[in-house]
Chain A
């Protein structure tokens, strides 16, 4: 592990540092945050001060504390959702490519149906039906994102399943899980990783868009995407308040993708 880290370029180190910092912030949020997540501690929109390092928000809650709790909620939610979507999507996609036939046909058609309905509308309808609680939101977004992951995994795996080494393994009589895990997955890993980085960030943005349409994470829960929306009108006047959560999202996105790039580079480098 140490040598691995030593081989990492500065950009990847930076990405890792940011990621670890955000993760720690999220895990220890109640210990770090100076105030409670929903606690009203003063007047609305107080400027930056020693007591409130990032000022207060529209209800007089401490902005810094909400950013810290937001790290926990936002990243936790996005990670869980993306992980769910990828576990199911990638597995089913590879399976479809490997097995082909009616299994592929049925699953692909189901995914077609799922994807043919615009994601935002699907989310809007599903959340209106099941109610916008956090577990529901994770479930709904994961279901919506299984579809594109499935498609990508299947498309990438299609290029692999016809290759000789898969054919050989099949002839050797290897079982399906082995074929998926050992033969196909390593060969489409880089495509999936690249997608994971992008998709992970899309989840924040998707939640922000849901907040924009009024059905995102429910107040008073702190969430970076929703915090951008809550303060977004200020940007028209050049006020930087909405930039703080936006910058946090951007920083994390860039960090994750720097790590992804490094892993991609290693993957391709090792292969050639």
Chain B
């Protein structure tokens, strides 16, 4: 196979931040890991997925679970994608460039990308697909991220220009979002949300929501070196035991979220291998910093010292996680600040902070549910037990799974939550920590932090950016209301003959849910 692929790399962060802002540094990527292992075409991959619901539909605005993410990425391409090294790279775009203030972005489309009905991708398709998620009538989950776009226009057949309200150096990262798979313009500037026509390597043969999707490879896929399986069948197998049994008996080749309690036993089964990825996934117990008693920094610190993070990783995550340091930027993300001192379980320190707050003991209620994350209830119970010696009495209040995200999260002053992948510190901070942000779950409003956030967003100098994001991490860790005990690892289990590139994208599970077109069978 001679599929060396030329990326007309967009402003890879480096070239862009160095101030060139000019595109087309003609970066040639060798096929790297892919070439060594020699992906083979063929075979049928059968996947058992935890999520998936009868209420799923092909409307990208409603995508809300792994089943639809993976299916969506297999059938529809996005403008950019996240490469294994964590940077954004062009996908349907051939290249992109920004103005010097990073407020105008020009994307040039590939000439060879075709929909499965033979039509070529045009700027109108892109605009209609993005607009589907914008405006007052949109119900899309990605809508808040697109609010920064003040105008989109086509410049000929193949060029799309985005005008932003303010400069944003990370703008291309947004287009990797699973909501933003490109559909066809129906002619009037809208898309047909139920359409199965995509540009991806696979076409849908059968789709029964909440049960299965059957995908067949397109032989004319324009993206060389991708889409190796002949067929892919994704089944929803909600019960963890059923998933593991199906893998052991060879009825499926790949499962996500194996039960961590028994993974040790599963890994001993012949023909089964376990795959783990570090990621940006983290578990968090946010405290409302504007609400008593959590408005007192000493109370927050007492709680931060009162949780035994190691125990939580050992018992709730079964060792599949790394200790969190009360700030949300993962080690694998750009601008991670490695110089911060790691906080550890210390009941004496917790007691000290409690005394500083003028208290001997303190009773707080922690709202929890396994809807927040699998094991949240166990984690809360462990937290309550570990905090007791420090004079902290944490009442664990289990809330109904249903409606947890509407009735508890953002409402109760101290609860459990999680964050999946956010590719850059800017996206993480501006969605979860900026004053006034919709999902600011700690009700955090810190003057210096807010200033820095705005300062960094259009900043071109990488060293300066790194410095700013480093300081922001320090502020959140030392003063914020986020108690982040652990970063989780993504764990999956598969048949020995399922192969993947040496480096996979770690933002979400299973190569950031792009395994369908990236993995193969030996």
In the complex they form, whether A and B have CB atoms below 8 Å apart is answered with yes
Listed in ascending order, the chain A residues whose CB lies under 8 Å from chain B are 38-40, 43-45, 58-60, 127-128, 131-132, 214-215, 218-220, 231-237, 239
Residues of the B chain whose Cβ atoms lie less than 8 Å from the Cβ of A234: 261-262, 265
Known A-B contacts A214-B370, A232-B241, A233-B259; the reply to A59 vs B400 at CB < 8 A is no
Known: A128-B400, A218-B398, A219-B377. A237 touches B265 (CB 8 A): yes
User: Binding site of B, secondary structure by majority: helix, strand, loop or mixed?
Assistant: helix
User: In the complex where A219-B378, A220-B381 touch, is A58 in contact with B402 (Cβ < 8 A)?
Assistant: no
B381 interface neighbour in A43, A59, A214, A233, Cβ under 8 Å: A59
B240 located at the interface, meaning its Cβ lies under 8 Å from any Cβ of chain A in the complex: yes
| B401 engages A214 (CB within 8 Å) | yes
* Min CB–CB distance B165 → chain A (angstroms): 41
The distance from the CB of A126 to the nearest CB of chain B, in whole angstroms, is 12
A61 to chain B, nearest CB (A): 9
Which secondary structure characterizes the binding site on chain A? loop
**Who on chain B is nearest to A231 by CB?**
B261
Q: Interface on B for A, CB 8 Å cutoff?
A: 240-241, 244-245, 248, 259, 261-262, 265-266, 311, 314-316, 318, 370, 377-378, 381-382, 385, 396, 398, 400-403
- If the complex has contacts A38-B381, A219-B377, A233-B244, are A59 and B315 also in contact, measured as CB distance less than 8 A? yes
Q: Are B314 and A44 in contact (CB under 8 A)?
A: yes
Decide if B400 touches A233 in the complex (CB within 8 Å). Answer: no
Nearest residue, chain A, Cβ from B399: A131
CA distance A132 to B202 in the complex (A): 44
Beyond A219-B377, A219-B398, A233-B261, whether A59 also contacts B314 by CB under 8 A is no
Q: How far is the CA of A60 from the CA of B244 in the complex (A)?
A: 24
B262 CB contacts on chain A under 8 angstroms: 233-234, 236-237, 239
Q: How far is it, in angstroms, between the C-alpha of A220 and the C-alpha of B262 when the chains are bound? A: 21
Q: How far is the CA of A128 from the CA of B402 in the complex (A)?
A: 7
Within the assembled complex, what's the spacing in Å between the Cα atoms of A239 and B378?
A: 22
Central interface residue in A59, A234, A239, by most chain B CB within 10 Å? A59
Shortest beta-carbon distance from A208 to chain B in Å: 14
A63 to chain B, nearest CB (A): 14
**A237 CA to B259 CA, complexed, in Å:** 12
Other A-B pairs beyond A128-B400, A218-B398, 15, CB < 8 Å: A38-B381, A44-B314, A44-B318, A59-B316, A59-B382, A128-B402, A128-B403, A132-B400, A214-B401, A218-B377, A219-B398, A233-B244, A234-B261, A236-B244, A239-B262
Contact B261 A58 (CB under 8 A): yes
Given contacts A219-B378, A219-B398, contact A58 B248 (CB under 8 A): no
Residues of chain A lying within 8 A (CB to CB) of residue B396? 220
User: How far apart are the CA atoms of A232 and B262 in the complex, in Å?
Assistant: 10
Query: Whole-angstrom distance from the CB of A244 to the nearest CB of chain B?
Result: 15
What is the CA–CA distance of A170 and B43 in the complex, to the nearest angstrom?
Answer: 79
Q: For the complex, what is the distance from the CA of A214 to the CA of B266, rounded to whole Å?
A: 24
Interface pair A131/B400, CB less than 8 Å apart: yes
With a CB–CB cut-off of 8 A, which chain B residues contact A132? 398, 400
Q: How far is the CA of A239 from the CA of B266 in the complex (A)?
A: 12
